[in-house]
Amino acid sequence: MSVNEMTAKEVTKKVLNKEQLFILDVRNESDFIDWKIEGANFEYLNVPYFDLLDGVEGILDKIPSNKEVLVVCAKEGSSIMVAEMLSDAGLAVSYFKGGMKAWSEYLEPVKVGDLTNGGHVYQFVRIGKGCLSYMIVSNGEAAIIDATRMTDIYLDFANRMGVKITHVFDTHLHADHISGGRNISQATNATYWLPPKDATEVTFKYQPLEQGTVVNIGHTTIEIQAIYSPGHTIGSTSFEIDGKYLLTGDILFIDSIGRPDLAGLAEDWVVDLRETLYERYRELSDDLIVLPAHFMNIAELNEDGTVSEKLAKLFIENHGLNITDEAEFRRAVTGNLPPQPNSYREIRETNMGKTYPDEETQREMEIGPNRCAVR
């Protein structure tokens, strides 16, 4: 029997459609526990590749014959070998093309909604990493917010849409992934914006993104209004777009809030975090649709594949927005911080322009789940 390959795009479709899939993950147990392909109706079996070198006979009775079976490893090679052994044993299986590295890098563009005077908002869902980036399109122009390092995806999408990228923003200096903002700016001659309080050590030129900055996209007035919202970083900046959408960066998520400790200043920044969440955001319209820069798990995805929710609903349901006592809030935040993101210091240095790792090193730096939220 032949061994098929399954791509990240195909697996993403199964995630969004809540299809069934049986995954045999042949990475080490610690890697599997830390980070795996998530699906609402996925089943898993984790058996390290080295335990299968002498054959797959010991696991044949654990693999269903009535479901699609996908073999997953870190880079692809081990999954091909295991899939071939299972195929030789009479099972119909696929291997995951590109392995978990491909899962980390895949982006799925999803339309969020329309703008008042024409134009659209698109969300780029980095399904395996939980990163969310955005493209705002109006009258032949586009702005990109919180781009990943996979810049070709944004450039190709803009070309297909027939729009020119004129502005690129980062809501803050990222520590969990390498920004593609500067590279897109250089490729398109777009203006690159960065909060100056996060840019004190950067080595490149940028346009300072500050409270009250208004950028118009296209010939219609689609305002991107900057709102200073520190807490995840000292320079974190949100965007109100078209009076309809609130891009919160890594400050507010659907089921959690941002962590304040990635620069080693949790005790100081937790005060800023509370002020942003409990004062600045409370002054905004409850009808704004929150579009965060990350999601924590696939349960946060809507039926259409987007990650979004009205601010009014989050004020009711998000626990991080409902801790009335300030001391309790401090304890809840600083006492529930997850492990630091992989290579976060090196990622910050890269995003400052201080280091220029090669592509393979960048991949290795980003491997693993995002850890930008308070648990």
pLDDT digits (tens, 9 = 90+) for 57-96: 999 999 998 999 999 999 999 999 999 999 999 999 999 9
User: Which pair of structure tokens corresponds to residue 17?
Assistant: 């459609």
Residue closest to 168 by CA, chosen among 307, 155, 101: 155
Q: Do 371 and 176 touch, CB atoms closer than 8 A?
A: yes
User: Which pair of structure tokens corresponds to residue 331?
Assistant: 């304890």
pLDDT for 354 beyond 80:
yes
CA dihedral of residues 6, 10, 11, 17 (deg, nearest 10): -150
Region 323-346 average pLDDT: 86
Ranges of CATH 3.60.15.10 domains, the chain: 107-366
Environment class of residue 224 by beta-carbon count within 10 Å: exposed (0-12), middle (13-18) or buried (19+)? buried
Q: Say how far apart CA 107 and CA 9 lie, in whole Å.
A: 8
Q: Say how far apart CA 207 and CA 191 lie, in whole Å.
A: 7
pLDDT band at 188 (very low <50, low <70, confident <90, very high): very high
Q: Say how far apart CA 251 and CA 227 lie, in whole Å.
A: 12
pLDDT for 1 beyond 80:
no
Mean per-residue pLDDT of the chain: 93
Region 333-362 average pLDDT: 89
In the chain, what percentage of residues exceed pLDDT 90? 80
Environment class of residue 90 by beta-carbon count within 10 Å: exposed (0-12), middle (13-18) or buried (19+)? exposed
The residue from 8, 73, 168, 301 that is catalytic is 73
What DSSP state is assigned to residue 190?
P
Give the CA distances from residue 134 to residues 69, 114, 344, in Å, rounded to whole numbers and listed in that order.
Answer: 33, 13, 22
Instruction: Indicate the pTM of the whole model.
Output: 0.94
CATH topology of domain 4-102: Oxidized Rhodanese; domain 1 (3.40.250)
- The H or E element spanning position 97 is none
107-366 — its CATH code?
A: 3.60.15.10
Q: What is the pLDDT of residue 260?
A: 86
Active site residue 131: no
Ranges of CATH 3.40.250.10 domains, the chain: 4-102
How many CB atoms sit inside 10 A of residue 110's CB?
Answer: 19
SS3 129: coil
